[in-house]
């Protein structure tokens, strides 16, 4: 590892340890157990990768597989934490939840199919394959979070500050991952693709500095965004995690059945009048 890689890795590890301490002492597992697991998985993954780098060297196959395995495990557990955010506080609104979970589940299936199709067509190289999967899963995470928040905003059901900070952190790291992975993937599958072809072995010494430069740059951006995200989460956890919100008092079902069609009918009539206004 060069000094930059060592510095980034150790800084990220320190941030992850601080986050896990906050998660544990604030008893986040009582309110958001899957997010707590996500925080622990990040720490375990990073530690494993660090140990692998120390044992086998950063350029070894074992380290490459350990890194991408950790990245994809993080993405999978992050998806669970997002699912938990979707469910949190919304499940008590039974009518809305019945609609929202179906929409989000349908959207998730569509996005996962897209992820699978996109990854399927990639060259059989772990870095490019992993990068594509990670990028598409990150994009899917942003889309799901945005749709969830649109639903909540539409029905006037706000997220608690802690959940907001978690969503903001996940959104930030996913956005950086999507943009960074997209650019890096384009470069690696473009003019640097010779790096993966044994038939082009003669070019490898010339390509090595460029590959190293790209890796360093991307690692720096990714890890700084990651540490910033940890900062957002730690700041949100400076206070104890709030108790789970109480269930709302729901209205009798008859009120919706009676009023909703009447409201819609009137809104439709209103639109009809606007259309009439616009007729020449």
Partner 1 sequence: MNDVGIMILVALVFSGILLWLLIPKRKSSGAAAASSHAEAIGALPTAKHYGYFPQIRQALSAADTRYLLDNAPPQVARQALRERRAVARRFLQGLHEDFSNLARLGRIIAALSPEISRRQETERLMLSVKFQILYALVWLRLSTGNLPLAQLEHLTGLVGRLATRMDEAMTQISALSVGQLSGRINA
Binding site for partner 1 (CB under 8 A): 89, 93-96, 98-99, 135, 139, 142-143, 145-146, 149-150, 152-161, 163-164, 167-168, 171-172, 174-175, 178-179, 182-183, 186, 242, 245-253, 255-256, 259-264, 266-271, 273-278
- Min. distance of Cβ 157 from partner 1 in angstroms? 5
Q: Which of 70, 29, 78 is nearest to 229 (CA)?
A: 78
- Min. distance of Cβ 167 from partner 1 in angstroms? 6
Which is closer to partner 1, CB of 47 or CB of 122?
A: 122
- Min. distance of Cβ 245 from partner 1 in angstroms? 4
**DSSP 8-state assignment for residue 225:** H
Sequence-ordered strand ranges (E) for the chain = none
- Min. distance of Cβ 119 from partner 1 in angstroms? 14
Whether the CB-CB separation of 207 and 191 falls below 8 Å is answered with no
- Min. distance of Cβ 116 from partner 1 in angstroms? 17
- Min. distance of Cβ 69 from partner 1 in angstroms? 24
**Considering Cα of 156, then 28, then 138, then 171, what sign does the dihedral take?**
positive
| Sequence-separated (6 or more) residues with CB below 8 Å from residue 139 | 111, 174, 178
- Min. distance of Cβ 112 from partner 1 in angstroms? 17
Rounded to whole angstroms, the Cα distance separating 268 from 81 reads 40
Q: Is 25 exposed, middle or buried (0-12, 13-18, 19+ CB in 10 A)?
A: exposed
Which is closer to partner 1, CB of 56 or CB of 129?
A: 129
- The helix (H) or strand (E) run that includes residue 191 is none
Whether the CB-CB separation of 63 and 49 falls below 8 Å is answered with yes
Which is closer to partner 1, CB of 16 or CB of 177?
A: 177
- Min. distance of Cβ 96 from partner 1 in angstroms? 6
Which is closer to partner 1, CB of 206 or CB of 278?
A: 278
CA 72 to chain centre: 11
Q: Counting every residue, how long is the chain?
A: 280
Which is closer to partner 1, CB of 110 or CB of 253?
A: 253
Rounded to whole angstroms, the Cα distance separating 48 from 236 reads 27
Say how many C-beta atoms besides its own lie within 10 A of residue 204's C-beta: 14
User: How far from each other are the two terminal CA atoms of the chain, in whole angstroms?
Assistant: 74
Which is closer to partner 1, CB of 4 or CB of 251?
A: 251
Rounded to whole angstroms, the Cα distance separating 255 from 257 reads 5
CA 226 to chain centre: 11
Which is closer to partner 1, CB of 240 or CB of 248?
A: 248
Which is closer to partner 1, CB of 202 or CB of 278?
A: 278
């Amino acid at each position: 590892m060069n000094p930059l890689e060592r510095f980034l890795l150790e800084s990220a590890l320190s941030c992850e340890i601080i986050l896990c301490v906050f998660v544990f002492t604030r008893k986040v597992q009582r309110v958001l157990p899957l997010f707590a697991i996500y925080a622990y998985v990040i720490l375990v993954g990073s530690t494993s990768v660090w140990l692998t780098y120390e044992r086998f060297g950063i350029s070894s196959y074992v380290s490459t597989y350990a890194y991408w395995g950790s990245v994809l495990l993080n993405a999978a557990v992050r998806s669970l934490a997002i699912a938990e955010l979707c469910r949190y506080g919304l499940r008590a609104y039974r009518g809305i939840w019945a609609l929202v979970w179906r929409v989000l589940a349908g959207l998730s299936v569509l996005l996962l199919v897209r992820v699978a199709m996109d990854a399927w067509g990639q060259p059989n190289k772990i870095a490019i394959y992993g990068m594509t999967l990670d990028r598409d899963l990150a994009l899917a995470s942003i889309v799901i979070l945005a749709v969830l928040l649109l639903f909540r905003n539409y029905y006037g059901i706000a997220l608690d500050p802690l959940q907001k900070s978690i969503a903001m952190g996940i959104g930030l790291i996913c956005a950086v991952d999507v943009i960074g992975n997209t650019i890096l993937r384009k470069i690696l599958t473009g003019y640097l693709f010779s790096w993966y072809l044994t038939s082009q072995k003669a070019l490898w010494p010339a390509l090595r500095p460029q590959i190293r430069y790209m890796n360093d740059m991307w690692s720096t951006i990714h890890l700084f965004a990651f540490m910033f995200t940890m900062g957002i989460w730690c700041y949100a956890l400076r206070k104890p995690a709030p108790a789970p919100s109480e269930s709302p008092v729901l209205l009798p079902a008859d009120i919706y059945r009676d009023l909703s069609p009447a409201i819609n009918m009137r809104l439709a009539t209103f639109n009809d009048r606007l259309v009439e206004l616009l007729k020449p």
